[in-house]
Amino acid sequence: MTELIERAAAADTPAVELSMQQAINRALRVLLAEDPDVLVFGEDVGALGGVFRVTDGLQEEFGDKRVFDTPLAESAIMGMAVGLAMNGWRPVPELQFDGFAYPAIDQIVNQVARMNYRTRGAAPMPITLRLPSFGGIQAPEHHGESLEALFAHTPGLKVVAPSDPGDAYSLMLQAVRSDDPVVYMEPKARYWDRRPVRLREPSDPIGTSRIVRPGRHATLVAWGAMVQRCVQVAELAAEDGVDLEVLDLRWLKPLDAEGLAASVSRTRRAVVVHEAPLTAGLGAEVAALVTEHCFRDLSAPVQRVTGFDVPYPAGPLEPQYLPTIDRVLLAVQRTLEY
């Protein structure tokens, strides 16, 4: 075990201030160092270090046989990942932007997600698809999407979306070490969020949510960049005596129904916040689970605050599309009126 891995595993590791981008980079270094079968590849991840510099310095440290660029061909990238996984490698491909995943959907849904099932376990797919996701940076069209419902709906895939640097580090370790394919959705708007991080081994099992802020009057359920938006809402609501709990789902597949139900049963109200369009978004699944598990405890219908049922907008229109603090506060007010 390398010195880097030992430091990451130590229980008394001191906190280091890192951005989410740097935390993911640290995790990839640990994974590349501990397992010679881990490969990092994709669009500009090598010498450039990725468009968001998440893979900065990895090729220099581990060589261009383990960290390398690919052609700008997303279907080919995922097809190569399938072949590598079938031959014992642990691929970590990156598609650079979530909107670029559409050409690779055939490979992701029909090969990556199904191969283990199709072969009765003879061909596991330990693939972690790194996908810079969601909005918040006012990028051009096709550079901001919210595809979690599509991937979570696909049997065979795990889906995870970190919300801060500490979780980004530990969840990346869990994802790459898993023998199942994981879509790792990195919220682009939070790449530069800097916080003290303890580089420790993950302690929660896959599929575990976490309470970011405890509260009494209602639960705000979110993932990715919307977790911080909900924390801002909770802080503002507290000024008026409203105590909101913020639940970060983290794993969107498998989804922590038990943790979700425990939180909502305590607060008796729930508001789900996500960036994707409303219709058939993952918030509908969350609302259904809350209703199934907490029906007798609910004091109000589950509220949803989401993007609108339009194509994900580019550039200057994005702030009008994403859930705002005011929209979330309005939903909180509606649920408290029951």
Q: Could you give the residue numbers annotated as active site? A: 143
| Contact between residue 67 and residue 60 where contact means Cβ atoms under 8 Å apart | no
How far apart (Å, rounded) are the C-alpha atoms in residues 65 and 154?
A: 32
How far apart (Å, rounded) are the C-alpha atoms in residues 179 and 116?
A: 10
How far apart (Å, rounded) are the C-alpha atoms in residues 265 and 140?
A: 41
Give the CA count within 13 Å in the CB-facing half-sphere of 70: 23
Query: Cβ of 262: how many Cβ atoms within 10 Å?
Result: 16
DSSP string, 55-119: TTTHHHHH-TTTEEE--S-HHHHHHHHHHHHHTT-EEEEE-SSGGGGGGGHHHIIIIITTHHHHT
| Contact between residue 21 and residue 169 where contact means Cβ atoms under 8 Å apart | no
Q: Which residues pair with 271 in a beta bridge?
A: 220, 303
